[in-house]
């Protein structure tokens, strides 16, 4: 799909959306390539399943595409996309769980499983992250796994900036206290 000659990576999302409103499919290609991996990452984290994550990726960009023409972006694009990704991923996970004959459940949150840390380290980290309240975990991962700014997170979750800061503060406090992650703060 990508063709280096046809893309202009320097354009902002806002500029690309203006082009998309004019029917420019190359602008879609750039937007897609810019945010594709992040959408797939969030989807995988929520569904815990590679195939479901790809379904969610597809549905998310079809949803985005259907906004055109006439779409106005009122926040950062990732903040706009996040509720759609999250909701589609939760729906996909529930639907798949219903179809599973053994009634098994998906993990509440899933790591990518191909990081460089050793397996015990990863399990320890997963344990600490999984133990966080959902709101804190969500903010923590949006901030440090996805590298969204606090303002972007506030817009994505539709909560005040102060709430994001408070949740993040509490999450960091929990990591600071947890035996598995305490050592990082002592270094």
- Identify residues 24-53 at the interface with another protein (CB under 8 A): 24-25, 28-29, 32, 36-38, 40-41, 44-45, 50, 53
The answer to whether 91 contacts another protein (rule: CB under 8 A) is yes
The answer to whether 158 contacts another protein (rule: CB under 8 A) is yes
The answer to whether 8 contacts another protein (rule: CB under 8 A) is no
Task: Report 113-152 residues binding another protein (CB under 8 A).
Answer: 114-117, 121-122, 125-126, 129, 140-141, 143-152
Closest approach of another protein to the CB of residue 106, in Å:
15
The answer to whether 87 contacts another protein (rule: CB under 8 A) is yes
Q: How many residues make contact with another protein (CB under 8 A)?
A: 75
Q: Which is nearer to another protein, 18 or 24 (CB)?
A: 24
Residue 78 and residue 35 in contact, taking contact as beta carbons nearer than 8 Å: yes
Q: What's the start-to-end Cα distance of the chain, in Å?
A: 45
Inter-axis angle of helices 150-157 and 161-177, nearest 10 = 110
For residues 174, 175, 180, 182, the Cα torsion angle rounded to the nearest 10 degrees is -110
Q: Which is nearer to another protein, 147 or 177 (CB)?
A: 147
């Amino acid at each position: 799909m990508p063709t280096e000659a046809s893309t202009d990576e320097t354009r902002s999302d806002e500029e690309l959306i203006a082009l998309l409103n004019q029917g420019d499919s190359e602008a879609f290609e750039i937007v897609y390539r810019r945010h594709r991996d992040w959408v797939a990452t969030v989807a995988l984290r929520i569904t815990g399943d590679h195939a479901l994550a790809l379904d969610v990726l597809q549905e998310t960009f079809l949803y985005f595409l259907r906004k055109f023409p006439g779409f106005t972006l009122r926040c950062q694009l990732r903040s706009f996309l996040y509720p759609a990704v999250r909701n589609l991923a939760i729906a996909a996970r529930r639907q798949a769980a219903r179809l599973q004959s053994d009634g098994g459940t998906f993990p509440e949150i899933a790591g990518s499983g191909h990081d460089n840390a050793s397996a015990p380290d990863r399990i320890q980290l997963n344990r600490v992250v999984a133990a966080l309240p959902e709101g804190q975990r969500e903010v923590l991962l949006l901030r440090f796994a996805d590298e969204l700014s606090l303002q972007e997170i506030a817009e994505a979750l539709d909560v005040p900036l102060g709430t994001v800061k408070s949740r993040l503060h509490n999450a960091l406090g929990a990591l600071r206290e947890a035996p598995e992650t305490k050592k990082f703060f002592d270094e």
